[in-house]
Copies of this chain bind each other. A is one copy, B any other.
Amino acid sequence: MNTLTVDLGERSYPIYIGRDLLGRRDVLQRHISGRQVLVVTNPTVAPLYLEKLRPALQGKQVAEVILPDGEQYKNLTTLEQIFDTLLQQRFDRSCTLIALGGGVIGDTAGFAAACYQRGVHYIQIPTTLLAQVDSSVGGKTAVNHPRGKNMIGAFHQPRCVIADTDTLTTLPQRELSAGLAEVVKYGLIRDADFFDWLEIHSAALLARDANQLAHAIARSCRNKAEIVAADEREGGIRALLNLGHTFGHAIETGLGYGEWLHGEAIAAGMVLAAQLSARLGWLEPEQVERVRRLFRSLHLPVIPPADLSPEQFLNLMAVDKKVLAGRLRLILLKGIGRAVIVDDIDPADIVATLNQARSSG
């Protein structure tokens, strides 16, 4: 078991990474102070891992809620299901929620914990690669609105994150690839050596080599933990983690949630960010090609969906949270491993980049 720490003063917490952690009562109960526990999961994860988790919760009053599976259910209606269960079971403000699942479960359960009785404890047990390397760490919680992704949410840090790498053995291949998109992101924004390593080990990762996966998860979490510790509420450098996300959110919202996986959308989004960076003269065409090649080797899309016009794209990007005072703010690249926050992007450059990308298919 590998233990990292997210260093946030009195809100600090550990990330445990390793095999066979789900049933570890000693690990889990160290972080549960009350007697009531609500496990939030979905119908895909429950039959695989709920039984494994239960013994670790012995001695607690445990309730379970199974939410429908998919990004399209990450909304206020699903959130209410959690509140209904908590209140039916008379859970008080000393209770703990456990998010057992992927990013959708973690974001929704985390936001429920942020709001229930104005804030209760929660624990992240991410079961997808994407959740293990990104969404479970850092305390960003949210649900979607039909007009925009993650528009309703809170910063609320978990008590701990337990990344049991055994859960990745049952992950569909498409979701494994989607998770690797967020892994690549750390290489692109601040860890060029890691990017090099990923180029060499992409096939091993796709083949689920346990050691290489564990290395990729730990290195991703360390990058994320450092950024979050430096900027918990995204006043500055944490925004770098949004590389590819403004484009990606436009794809997800434009196609309807669930059509493309989040990791797929941001892979295409990161390629667009690289292409726009090259258009501005900040990245060499060969570097853009390295980015495209790595994503392709990980079976990720490198071209935005054909049925979204550049105008639709721009419109969707304009409601994204990264817009500030009417100016479009994007994360772009000045090299592999060197992301920058850029305000005042000329929309014409975005349209040109989108047109070029669509014709480069």
Give A contacts to B, CB under 8 Å.
Answer: 34-35, 76, 80, 83-84, 87-88, 90, 92-94, 114-119, 140, 142, 145, 147-148, 150-155, 233, 318-319, 321, 323-326
Contact = CB atoms under 8 A, between A and B. Distances in A.
B152 A325 contact: no
Contacts of A323: 90, 92
A355 B145 CA distance: 48
12 contacts: A34-B325, A35-B326, A76-B76, A83-B151, A87-B148, A87-B151, A90-B318, A92-B323, A92-B324, A93-B324, A118-B140, A118-B153
B34 A152 contact: no
A315 to B, nearest CB: 10
Number of copies: 2
Nearest to A318: B90
A154 B319 contact: no
A87 B153 CA distance: 14
Contacts of A84: 145, 147
B153 A35 contact: no
A321 B153 contact: no
Contacts of A35: 325-326
A83 B119 contact: no
A35 B147 CA distance: 21
Given A115-B154, A142-B118, A321 B87 contact: no
B155 A118 contact: yes
A119 B319 contact: no
Given A76-B80, A142-B118, A88 B147 contact: yes
Given A80-B76, A145-B87, A152 B321 contact: no
A155 B325 contact: no
Contacts of A318: 90
A203 B117 CA distance: 38
A344 to B, nearest CB: 15
Contacts of A153: 115, 117-118
Given A92-B324, A115-B154, A152-B115, A319 B145 contact: no
Given A87-B151, A145-B83, A148-B87, A117 B325 contact: no
Contacts of A151: 83, 87, 116-117
Contacts of A325: 34-35, 92, 94
A152 B92 contact: no
Given A34-B325, A76-B76, A76-B80, A155 B119 contact: yes
Contacts of A152: 83, 115-116
A321 B116 CA distance: 10
Contacts of A92: 321, 323-326
A323 B117 CA distance: 11
